[in-house]
Amino acid sequence: MRICDRCDDIVRTSKTGIVSWSVSRSDLLQGRSGRCQFCILFLKTLDEFFSGLEPSKKVSICRTDGDRSFRIICQNLKIHEDARTLDVYAPIGKEISCWPTLPCAPELPTPFVSEGAFSIMKGYLTTCLVDHIQTCGVARARRLPTRLLNVKSGRVTIVETPIGTQYAALSYCWGGRQSLTLIESSKDQLYAGVTVEDLPAVIQDAARVTRELGLEWLWVDALCIFQDSADDWEYESSNMADYYSGALVTIAASYSSNVNEPLLKMEGNNALCRPVDFPFRCPEEGVKTVRVRRRVFGSINSGALRTRAWTLQETALSTRILHFTPTEVVWECRTKHDPEHDPRDYFGVMQEYNDKTLRPPAYDIWCYMVREYSTRALTNPSDKLPAISALASGLAEIYTSTSTNKQSYLSGLWREHLPLHLMWRTCNDPSRARSEFTKTRSWLPISLSRTPATEENQIPGYDPRIPSWSWASLPFAVLYPHIANRNHYKELYEKRKILVDIEAAECELHTTHNPYGAIKNGWIILSGPCLTVQLYAERTNNTLRYYAAHDRMPDDVNEVSGDTILVSSSQVPESQRRSSCPIQRSLSMHATRGLGLNETAQVLLVYRYDDETPVLYGLVLSAWQDKEQVYSRIGYIRFRKGKSSDWLRMAERKRLMLV
């Protein structure tokens, strides 16, 4: 058999180690002219899957330890990223002796509703229950759901949960109003039972999966919580941490954008990733079959479920999850993450939450959760705190000090780490600000290209009950800049010095049912070094930027990250003012109003990072004119290196109340 030098290197190498080869279509054409069987095969593959490929365009042919196939990767094509990778393999039991490094691989089951697909799903669950006891354990809810759906037959009924019940939970997107929910007027009908066909498509499929897994009980929020009872909703939502962590498995409708879009696709692994057979001539065995398919993953990070705020805690709290994507079912548990056949690396939210010893500092786990949560969409802005309350409840044991009976959770921040939890800032990257309005507008809080401000174009989602110091007070994506680099935690903790003292903090809860839910108001009393600065705005390259200056440091002006567009209160009609502060957060999308800003502000220095050149971090505050030493948060500041010590020496220690 003829083989070129390039192909000889990749196909005859040892099965261990990483093998990679970069080649163009022109290279393969040259190899084909020399009658290299491998070049002929790879060329046919490119023509079949990437027709019209430029002759000079490079592809990578590679194989690494643990893979069940060779891979051909073609980057920078105008197709979905996952579709750029091809698997090359032999059918099971049909090894090719002249290509000893080509592995055999099983086929992906199709459709999802096939016996083979359900067998794989059940196998995942059984394996986890038997082999992962140490890491995944056995799901035992501290508090069972009040109600469950019995789905063992073609008639689905709501029942009061029997003691010791093992159940599945459903995580899905409502996608608007549902045709069937548990309300007072539908109670008798649902308790008596409805046919499976009466249920919305996602719930129908979830019931089918539950039965195929050998379970009889399913928890679905729309049918297990009274949707017209505030008391029942508040009680049940406050216990969701137990409901999802206690479920034997969570069924995730990852790509169903609404309850009427099935999660069980009849086509399963569709034509996009069905294999194509190619003949391959082997001298000793004649013509053999080499099989190629697209490595198309319906990434669980890209589906509709990942864009919704409520579903973050459902994913984070679950012990085991079956993610249903358009092309495959992905298994995830605390031990492993595996699509139907091909393992891949994944470090998801659930592992971040469940491995509480992952990193020594506990506070950053919450910061990462907040960052992810804030990029997700809410239908009702008033759900900003309730929709993450189960996650807060689940994490309370590592954030609540046993030495005090004080309120530990404060409007999305933890008292135990309050100085650092205050140090969030809003994102200026529209790709990370996935709130409802960004579906039609590319939002930048500092953008100047906006239409005049009206009630219609104001940014939705502002909740005046939430204090300004909480990230939940604004409908924007946020991040914690001081934990951006995971690799520097030890260094970060050794060199950071907290400069403020928290004296008191309290939030008035909306309901006693949920200590982690909605609030009526909140405040913090603290003391720390403060600076009085002049805050002004400038226009640079069609961008509005804020700067803090001091007459004693004229050569060191520092940029301020505004929580949103900042305006002088004199620019806001009296009827629209939300406080008596001279500087206000504007929720208008019209940024040019901020150009006139030139007001006195207060900077509270929160912590210092003592590197070779110390750096100061702080909050920018605006004083309430009618209340002494009462301030509202309006921004975040990081002082430039070099003069931080001078700024700190100029600061005066003050006692403040933040509202």
CA distance 387 to 384: 6
Q: Which residues, other chains included, contact 73 with Cβ-Cβ below 8 Å and sequence gap of 6+?
A: 59, 60, 61, 62, 84, 85, 86
> Would you tell me how many other CB atoms lie within 10 Å of the CB of residue 110?
20
pLDDT tens-digit profile of 467-492? 999 999 988 889 898 775 555 555 66
Please give the pLDDT value at position 576: 55
pLDDT tens-digit profile of 570-624? 666 565 555 667 787 776 555 555 566 888 999 999 999 887 778 899 999 999 8
| 365-371: average pLDDT | 86
Please give the pLDDT value at position 337: 59
CA distance 613 to 456: 47
Longest dimension (CA), the chain: 93
Residue 354 vs residue 435, higher pLDDT = 354
Question: Per-residue pLDDT for 441 more than 50?
Answer: no
User: What one-character DSSP code corresponds to residue 602?
Assistant: E
Question: Per-residue pLDDT for 183 more than 90?
Answer: yes
| 618-632: average pLDDT | 90
Report yes or no: 269 and 117 within 8 Å, Cβ to Cβ. Answer: no
pLDDT tens-digit profile of 547-579? 999 989 888 999 999 988 887 776 665 655 556
Question: Per-residue pLDDT for 318 more than 70?
Answer: yes
CA distance 219 to 198: 17
| 76-105: average pLDDT | 76
Residue 197 vs residue 270, higher pLDDT = 197
| 217-225: average pLDDT | 97
Q: Which residues, other chains included, contact 302 with Cβ-Cβ below 8 Å and sequence gap of 6+?
A: none
Residue 540 vs residue 141, higher pLDDT = 540
CA distance 614 to 495: 9
Report yes or no: 581 and 624 within 8 Å, Cβ to Cβ. Answer: yes
Residue 1 vs residue 83, higher pLDDT = 1
CA distance 119 to 121: 5
Share of the chain above pLDDT 90, in %: 36
Please give the pLDDT value at position 350: 42
Question: Per-residue pLDDT for 200 more than 90?
Answer: yes
Residue type, position 553, single letter:
M
Question: Among residues 206, 149, 143, which one has the least CA distance to residue 172?
Answer: 206
> Would you tell me how many other CB atoms lie within 10 Å of the CB of residue 266?
11
Question: Per-residue pLDDT for 443 more than 60?
Answer: no
Residue with tokens 């903790």: 493
CA distance 592 to 448: 6
CA distance 396 to 356: 12
Please give the pLDDT value at position 431: 31
CA angle 475, 477, 481 (to 5 degrees): 135
Joined together, the tokens standing for residue 523 give: 């405040």
> Would you tell me how many other CB atoms lie within 10 Å of the CB of residue 50?
19
What is the band of 353 on the pLDDT scale with cuts at 50, 70, 90?
Answer: very low
Residue 1 vs residue 221, higher pLDDT = 221
Please give the pLDDT value at position 424: 96
Question: Per-residue pLDDT for 453 more than 90?
Answer: no
Residue 623 vs residue 116, higher pLDDT = 623
Question: Per-residue pLDDT for 241 more than 90?
Answer: no
CA angle 282, 285, 291 (to 5 degrees): 60
Please give the pLDDT value at position 491: 63
CA distance 201 to 22: 46
Strand, helix or coil for residue 128: helix
What's the alpha-carbon Rg for the chain, to the nearest Å?
29
| 210-222: average pLDDT | 96
Please give the pLDDT value at position 263: 85
CA distance 306 to 302: 6
What is the Cα 171 distance to its own chain's centre? 14
Q: What is the mean pLDDT of the chain?
A: 80
| 235-247: average pLDDT | 90
Sheet holding 249-252, edge to edge: 194-195, 155-160, 147-150, 217-219, 167-171, 249-252, 320-324, 329-333, 337-338
User: For residue 233, with 0-12 CB atoms within 10 Å meaning exposed, 13-18 middle and 19 or more buried, which class applies?
Assistant: middle
Please give the pLDDT value at position 169: 97
Beta-bridged to residue 148, according to DSSP, are: 159
What is the band of 404 on the pLDDT scale with cuts at 50, 70, 90?
Answer: low
Beta-bridged to residue 547, according to DSSP, are: 536, 559
Question: Among residues 7, 38, 64, 24, which one has the least CA distance to residue 278?
Answer: 38
Query: What size, in residues, is the chain?
Result: 659
Question: Per-residue pLDDT for 454 more than 70?
Answer: no
Q: Give the β-pairing of 19-24 and 413-414.
A: unpaired
User: Dihedral, CA atoms, 66, 72, 74, 75, nearest 10 degrees?
Assistant: 10
Which of 195-204, 326-335, 390-399, 444-453 shows the lowest mean pLDDT across its residues? 444-453
> Would you tell me how many other CB atoms lie within 10 Å of the CB of residue 535?
26
Sheet holding 85-89, edge to edge: 19-24, 58-63, 70-73, 85-89, 286-294, 276-282
Which of 176-185, 273-282, 343-352, 422-431 shows the lowest mean pLDDT across its residues? 343-352
Cα separations in angstroms, 540 against 103, 448, 543, 544: 58, 10, 5, 6
Please give the pLDDT value at position 396: 81
What is the band of 432 on the pLDDT scale with cuts at 50, 70, 90?
Answer: very low
pLDDT tens-digit profile of 127-137? 999 988 887 87
CA distance 460 to 438: 11
Question: Among residues 99, 13, 10, 101, which one has the least CA distance to residue 59?
Answer: 10
Please give the pLDDT value at position 132: 87
User: For residue 154, with 0-12 CB atoms within 10 Å meaning exposed, 13-18 middle and 19 or more buried, which class applies?
Assistant: exposed
Joined together, the tokens standing for residue 33 give: 């002219």
CA distance 335 to 137: 10
CA distance 261 to 202: 6
Q: What values do phi and psi take at 201, rounded to 5?
A: -55, -45
What is the band of 395 on the pLDDT scale with cuts at 50, 70, 90?
Answer: confident
| 167-180: average pLDDT | 91
Please give the pLDDT value at position 451: 31
Report yes or no: 88 and 71 within 8 Å, Cβ to Cβ. Answer: yes
Question: Among residues 381, 386, 376, 353, which one has the least CA distance to residue 239?
Answer: 386
Please give the pLDDT value at position 412: 95
CA distance 475 to 436: 9
Number of H helices, E strands in the chain: 16, 30
Please give the pLDDT value at position 465: 87
Question: Among residues 478, 472, 481, which one has the least CA distance to residue 521?
Answer: 472
Please give the pLDDT value at position 81: 45
User: What one-character DSSP code corresponds to residue 477?
Assistant: -
